[in-house]
């Protein structure tokens, strides 16, 4: 590497995030920010980091895609037998982070996680491209495999097995919903004096307040 990463920095500029400007419900602001992010970031606008904790208390993080949201929470889909699936079975809490560089914005979400209904998982699975549906059967996610050829052979077998047929959703694949009890909105500002508005769900109601940068 020829660059000194300690010298890499960016001075942010963004619209002010003021307490008096934000709605009472955080998902209203989430919808506004995500709509702008999808325009600004294109197909990466719904990318988010998912952090979970295993039974030993060790954290693990990876990138997943937001595939739905409403007043109940935020939804993503995965293999229930994956590492994250096992971790969520043992410790059903997670943190999410959205980062949109072109907007200089970040959203953090924390909350309890539970599987979505079979009907929701079926509806989303049926909307996926056929190749992605097959992939849900092919990928034994997080399992050690010998080489790339192994997965290609497995793909070929499932293509033959479902040739000319609708592909059903595997029982080990479906959605999770993160029900937030904390959502924080971060807007980058000059001189590292960023705006942070945090919502917390307490006593059956959302409360918001400003945090120091």
For residues 131-168, one letter each, b for 16 or more C-beta atoms within 10 angstroms of the residue's C-beta and e for the rest, the string is eebbbbbbbebeeeeeeeeeeeebbeebeeeeeeeebe
Does 80 count as an annotated binding residue? no
Q: In sequence order, what are the residues at sequence separation of 6 or more whose Cβ sits closer than 8 angstroms to the Cβ of residue 95?
A: 50, 51, 108, 109, 110
Please give the Cα distance from 95 to 5 (Å, whole number): 27
| Residue 84 annotated in ligand binding | yes
Residue 35 assigned ligand-binding role: no
Name the catalytic one among 192, 202, 207, 210.
Answer: 192
Residue 78 assigned as binding residue: yes
- Is 202 assigned a catalytic role? no
| Residue 200, token pair as written in the block | 């917390």
Residue 56 marked in a binding site: no
> 157: annotated binding-site residue?
no
The verdict on whether residue 142 carries a ligand-binding annotation is yes
Binding site as annotated, residues: 62-67, 77-78, 84, 106, 124, 128, 132, 141-142, 186, 192-194, 196
Question: Mind telling me the catalytic residues?
Answer: 192
Binding site as annotated, residues for FMN: 62-67, 77-78, 84, 106, 141-142, 186, 196
Binding site as annotated, residues for substrate: 67, 124, 128, 132, 192-194
């Amino acid at each position: 590497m020829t660059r000194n990463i300690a010298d890499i920095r960016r001075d942010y500029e963004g619209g002010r995030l003021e307490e008096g400007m934000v709605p009472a419900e955080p998902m209203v602001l989430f919808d506004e920010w995500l709509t702008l992010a999808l325009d600004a970031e294109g197909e990466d606008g719904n990318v988010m980091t998912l952090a979970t904790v295993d039974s030993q208390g060790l954290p693990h993080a990876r990138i997943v895609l937001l595939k739905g949201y409403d007043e109940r929470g935020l939804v993503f889909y995965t293999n229930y037998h994956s590492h994250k699936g096992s971790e969520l079975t043992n410790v059903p809490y997670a943190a999410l982070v959205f980062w949109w560089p072109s907007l200089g914005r970040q959203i953090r979400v924390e909350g309890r996680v539970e599987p979505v209904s079979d009907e929701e998982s079926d509806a989303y699975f049926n909307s996926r491209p056929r190749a992605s549906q097959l992939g849900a059967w092919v990928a034994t996610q997080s399992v050690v495999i010998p080489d790339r050829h192994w997965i290609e052979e497995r793909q070929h077998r499932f293509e033959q097995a479902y040739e000319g047929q609708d592909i059903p959703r595997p029982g080990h694949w479906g959605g999770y919903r993160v029900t937030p009890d904390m959502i924080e909105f971060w807007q980058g500002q000059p001189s590292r004096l960023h705006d942070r508005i945090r919502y917390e769900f307490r006593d059956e109601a959302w409360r918001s307040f400003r945090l120091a940068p």
